[in-house]
Structure 1
């Protein structure tokens, strides 16, 4: 009986591996990946492990129809798990060599997340105007991420600054224009890989690294909203989406 059980288990294991598909190979230089993650943590961005691309389902979580493949945390406890501790991040990075990482927003930093074309336009205008711009990341799925100081943790909770642009993971589709990731949200932190579109995996990478100080989000907001309004104006199917109405 035990031999038969072992054989069945072996067949099931092979079938499971086939269904999951061939996993991508680790990045060529894992030292660079770890160094980039540690640099982000050293800048105060709390990190936690996230899913990664997988051939069979698009996401390593194996959830059929995963709505955010390779973009979500591994653990439901990601908010309490997120950390800047160097030792913990080194352990995660080495034990999970294919994992992406998220950074939890609303603790130390927020993220203003805009369409790529609008973000590039705004970044050029901000730099030309001499405005202090912090870390900026670019995603191959068509978004640009501006990392800023948070406005979500005031000393007096009654003074918390609500914003109709606040974006949480479950409301991403409702914010095709500018998204404000604050308390209860997260974004992928570079380096990260996304499921490909037939031409191989896509990525999230730094345009300006975490060595740049975090700016006040309000110093960027006008430039970003204006660029988004122009971008949305060129795509009339989403007219008005740059500044979503209060839900």
Structure 2
């Protein structure tokens, strides 16, 4: 699966700048070039919906007092049905909500394997070194790495899916140390997204033009890297099972 970047002059160059970590200066719309990146994600089949954004003082733009996941959650309770790959709708959202982050709903087209950042970097190096096909990968400045894969269960395949809750909250940390499997009923922020704090964000390491792999082709290396990470941080209180959102 590959993304189509819309054919607008300068868009693909701007996308390349983002993926290489060289953010271009904001354009006249004030969105810093995020719209073509969102459209590229949608063109790759990732369904999107608007999300909250950071507010001054490490707060969230939502009205909830003491929001537990500031700038990391959808703005609508109907995000699962609202999520779309429709170009026109995404353009309208991006222009009418210029500060909004966006989430992508998992379990319909894609899943996300969400691991601690250091474990993810180790796993990515091993996977690429072994010639394994790795799909889109994102890094979050809150210490997570996101591996985008095909989904293991879809609404058309009711006999073969499980709710994300089973994998987000395993019974013991030894069973899945540090790994969360976002599938049906879950979501993650899609780059580019801003997090509370100075210059904290979610960004692509490998963009959405990369084909989605089967999650099982990545799972062994990811779980092994997470186990190494858990062992290396066992003496650091609270770090072996990072549950930051």
How does the TM-score come out when normalised to structure 2?
0.79
Q: Which moved more, 1:60-69 or 1:103-112?
A: 60-69
What displacement does 1:165 show? Answer: 5.6
Tell me: CA distance 1:167–1:84, structure 2 relative to 1, closer, same or farther (3 Å): same
Conserved? CA contact 2:107–2:151, under 8 Å: yes
Give the secondary structure class of the aligned counterpart of 1:61: coil
Structure 2 gaps of 5+ residues are 1-24, 170-175
Match of 1:134 in 2: 135
Q: Which moved more, 1:178-187 or 1:159-168?
A: 159-168
CA distance in 2, matches of 1:35, 1:187: 19
Tell me: CA distance 1:162–1:59, structure 2 relative to 1, closer, same or farther (3 Å): closer
CA distance in 1, matches of 2:32, 2:107: 29
CA displacement 1:20-44 (0-9 Å, x = unmatched): xxxxxxx824262000000000000
CA distance in 1, matches of 2:86, 2:186: 20
CA distance in 1, matches of 2:48, 2:211: 18
What displacement does 1:152 show? Answer: 1.9
RMSD of aligned residue pairs (Cα, Å): 2.2
CA distance in 1, matches of 2:125, 2:58: 38
Give the secondary structure class of the aligned counterpart of 2:122: helix
CA distance in 1, matches of 2:164, 2:203: 27
What does residue range 15-30 of structure 1 map to in structure 2 within 5 Å?
Answer: 28-29=26-27, 30=31
Give the secondary structure class of the aligned counterpart of 2:65: coil
Conserved? CA contact 1:46–1:84, under 8 Å: yes
More helix by share: 1
Structure 1 gaps of 5+ residues are 1-26, 169-174, 243-247
What displacement does 1:158 show? Answer: 2.4
What displacement does 1:164 show? Answer: 8.0
Conserved? CA contact 2:163–2:185, under 8 Å: no
Correspondent of 1:211 among 206, 209, 212: 209
Match of 1:180 in 2: 181
Structure showing greater Rg: 1
CA displacement 1:6-63 (0-9 Å, x = unmatched): xxxxxxxxxxxxxxxxxxxxx8242620000000000000000000000146100032
CA displacement 1:134-181 (0-9 Å, x = unmatched): 00000000000000000021744223357886238xxxxxx8700000
Match of 2:152 in 1: 151
How does the TM-score come out when normalised to structure 1?
0.78
What does residue range 81-96 of structure 1 map to in structure 2 within 5 Å?
Answer: 81-96=82-97
